[in-house]
Amino acid sequence: MIEVTAIASSSKGNCYRISDGSTSLLLECGINYRDIQKALNFQMTQISGCLISHEHGDHVKSIRDVLKAGIDCYMSPGTARAINVSHHRIKLVEAGKPFKIGTFQIMAFDVQHDVAQPYGFLIMNKEGEKLLFATDTYYIKYKFPGLTHILVECNYSEKILKENIENGSVPKVMEKRLLQSHFSLENVKEFFKANDLSKVQEIWLLHLSSSNSDEKLFKEEIMRLTGKVVYIA
């Protein structure tokens, strides 16, 4: 069974660990390496790899330390160029081409964000469980049959954003960037409607905005829509 641990999830930094009992992976490394170590009880030798979605600092802050610790980091060629770190443990992966890390089979797919070449990842274990990881994207154009675990960004609500712009707490200029770079509650709901959720065991909502989101509202709405267990990371 796939176990998910949310270490950090916000615009300040993102990092998650997944494990199937045999292989453990980091998803992102956007916080201080010392904080990752503490969260994992300093058992870093158990980490078989780190998947990187894109080059923004809140997703790659400690990549040099992760590489130095002997952990391979997997990313797109565009992300590698943007990070501009030369290391033999940086592994370039192609969207749509499966690769393996331990007992996990992984396939990257393209997402929509204002960076070089962002990826989401579909991760499957030997038991056939499928985990979807997608963050920092305003749209997912693919459908994924047989998902059992979903980790997806739910950054803001269009309604809350508009209210914040009207009352002056959020600058109008922020609206365009959010609409073209991050997943809104409304678009997340459309994504769930478009996919078969019959096998889903749990949903994790990631990367909530500190000012344009509402944890309680988001959890209730997604639970009501999907009928699944929902966690806020």
CATH number (domain holding residue 55) = 3.60.15.10
Within the chain, residue ranges assigned H as helices are: 33-39, 57-60, 63-68, 77-83, 158-166, 173-179, 185-194, 215-226
Residue 119 token pair:
């990826």
The percent of residues above 70 in pLDDT, for the chain, comes to 100
The span from the CA of 115 to the CA of 81, in Å, is 11
Q: Which tops the pLDDT comparison, 165 or 149? A: 149
Q: How far is CA 227 from CA 219, 230, 231, in A?
A: 11, 9, 13
Residue 83 binned pLDDT confidence (cut-offs 50, 70, 90): very high
Q: Please answer whether residues 76 and 119 qualify as being in contact, where contact means their C-beta atoms are separated by less than 8 angstroms.
A: yes
pTM exceeds 0.85, yes or no: yes
**Taking all residues of the chain, what is their mean pLDDT, rounded to a whole number?**
94
Residue 112 has pLDDT above 80, yes or no: yes
- According to the model, what pLDDT value does residue 172 have? 80
- According to the model, what pLDDT value does residue 115 have? 83
Question: Could you list the residue range(s) of the whole structural domain that residue 42 is in?
Answer: 3-232
177-223 tens-digit pLDDT: 777 778 999 999 999 999 999 999 999 999 999 888 999 999 999 99
Count of CB atoms within 10 A of residue 85's CB? Answer: 14
Total number of domains constituting the chain: 1
